[in-house]
Structure 1
Amino acid sequence: MHALSSPTVMPDGLLQGLHTAPDAATLAYQLAQVVAGQLRQAVARRGQALLVVSGGSTPVPFFEALSTCELPWSRVVVTLADERWLPDTHPDSNARLVRAHLLQGAAAEARFVPLFNGAPHPAQGLPALEAELVRLPWPADVVILGMGADGHTASLFPHAPELSEALSPEGAGRCVAVSAPQAPNVPVPRVSLNARTLLDTRQLMLHLTGEAKLTLLRQAAASCDRQACPIALAVCQSTVPCAVFHT
């Protein structure tokens, strides 16, 4: 097992630590080992575990590393932080990504709760999705978020029409319908867990690659402007432990 590097406190003092690795494969392995440990502990204490993951290209090696970890997978529930409103046969579907790279081998025994439910539009699918999400064993044991080059996380985009609703701590429900973002993001409607739900976890982890993203994260931690840089919802709070895994 690779040892984690010594934590470095981020500028706002709210983050648990910054874990670095020399390359993406090593980082993915390290993150998988930590997440697996959290899930084992959750199952031992409560009989089940809830893991919330993100899509995109960055988590693929992490998914593949986690899928090989020895876990009581049948007691693990996996869901997504967000989803493009596309069937899981579409190449841009996050559910397709999870099934192809995480739910393999023994990990296929995990219960997967996708966010897309076939409704014509995310807003029309929200009632059924909310009913599904409310039955999950919250708080999550681990929520893993990425970040786009524009500072978005999950499908919460800077200055988006639905962002104020999504960021509200008093917002109803657990998810929000998201209008199609502009390119280079995949320009299709989406659904995203709201900020209150993303923070309804025992451990938050950010998985980032590239110096530009680390610089942007530090800027978000310094400004705490959630409208301009939604990832600030994770780094500008003190209620949930937040660790950053970066290479």
Structure 2
Amino acid sequence: MTQINNVSDKNALITQATALIIQKIKEAIVKNNICTIALAGGSTPKPIYEAIAQTDLPWDKIHIFWGDERYVLPNHPDSNEKMAREAWLDKVDIPPNNIHAMPTTANNPQADADKHNQELLNFFEITSGFPTFDLILLGMGDDGHTASLFPHTQALQVCDRLITVGNKEDSLRLTFTVPLINQANCVIFLVSGSNKQEALQQVFSETGDTNQYPSKLIKPQGELIWFISNS
């Protein structure tokens, strides 16, 4: 099921998306006594994380992952982990073992991708296939990329792994693969800015090219929910 929410501005996006994310977290905990959520980086989610940090939730039942990470140290200004910790995770009483950051310290992106791949298999107690996240948050760039799945890159084709190495020019990343994202119970896209409109038209077009606009590859077995604002 796909739901598209065109909202008036970024503030409305933040308010509505925050409410839905909190609802989804609570629903997963009621159903399974646990919630697994993968976070997005970028500027749009930050105020959402700050709002969630002000919410009373059973933090010991929430497990935090990331859909992608720049291959930088965790204290680097560009780190998605650093942003989420400062905006949210450092402000709540979540057990440290519930935070499952992507490793970026081996000076070997492929080795760290392999390590995190195994960490996910161990956490979800599976030996093969793809685990089901309760909730995955995604952004979208003006080039149509999502997570670190960039246009016309090898990462788009990886279908036998959970984690792979993504790249944007000379910038290396770790990223969830397309089939892992598509196994989720719910995927929420958070997209703001007038510069995204052309890419959105292609993503929603029946004739859009998935290699050029990778967000079009995201078709989860569960819910797909978009929050979109022009500003």
TM-score (norm 2): 0.88
Partners of 1:173 and 1:164 lie apart in 2 by 10
Contact 1:117 1:129 in 2 (8 A): no
Give the letter aligned to residue 213 of structure 2. Answer: C
| Aligned with residue 131 of structure 1, among 109, 118, 132 | 118
User: Shift of residue 215 of structure 1?
Assistant: 3.8
What's the CA shift for 1:140? 0.9
CA contact (8 A) 1:208 1:246 kept: yes
Pairing 1:81–2:67 present: yes
Q: How does 1:69-218 map to 2 (within 5 A)?
A: 69-106=55-92, 108-109=94-95, 111-137=98-124, 138-165=131-158, 171-179=159-167, 181-182=168-169, 187-218=170-201
**Secondary structure class of the residue paired with 1:143:** strand
Q: What are the ranges of 5 or more consecutive residues in structure 2 without an aligned counterpart?
A: 125-130
Amino acid at match of 2:108: H
The residue aligned with 1:6 is: none
- Report if aligned partners of 1:103, 1:109 keep a CA contact under 8 Å in 2: no
Q: CA deviation at 1:210?
A: 1.9
With over 3 angstroms needed to count, the CA separation of the structure-2 counterparts of 1:155 and 1:230, relative to structure 1, is same
Which of 33, 45, 61 is the equivalent residue of 2:31? Answer: 45
Partner of 2:224: 242
* Other-structure match for 1:65: 51
What secondary structure sits across from 2:183 in the alignment? coil
Structure 1: 5+ residue stretches without partners: 1-13, 166-170
Q: Distance in 2 between matches of 1:232 and 1:136?
A: 29
Counting aligned pairs with the same residue, the percent is 24
In 2, the alpha carbon distance for the partners of 1:41 and 1:240 equals: 14
Contact 2:191 2:228 in 1 (8 A): yes
CA RMSD of aligned residues (A): 1.8
The number of residue pairs the alignment matches comes to: 221
Contact persistence 1:64–1:101 (CA under 8 A): yes
* Residue 30 of structure 1, aligned match among 9, 13, 16: 16
- Once the two structures are TM-superposed, the CA of residue 88 in structure 1 deviates from its matched residue by 0.8
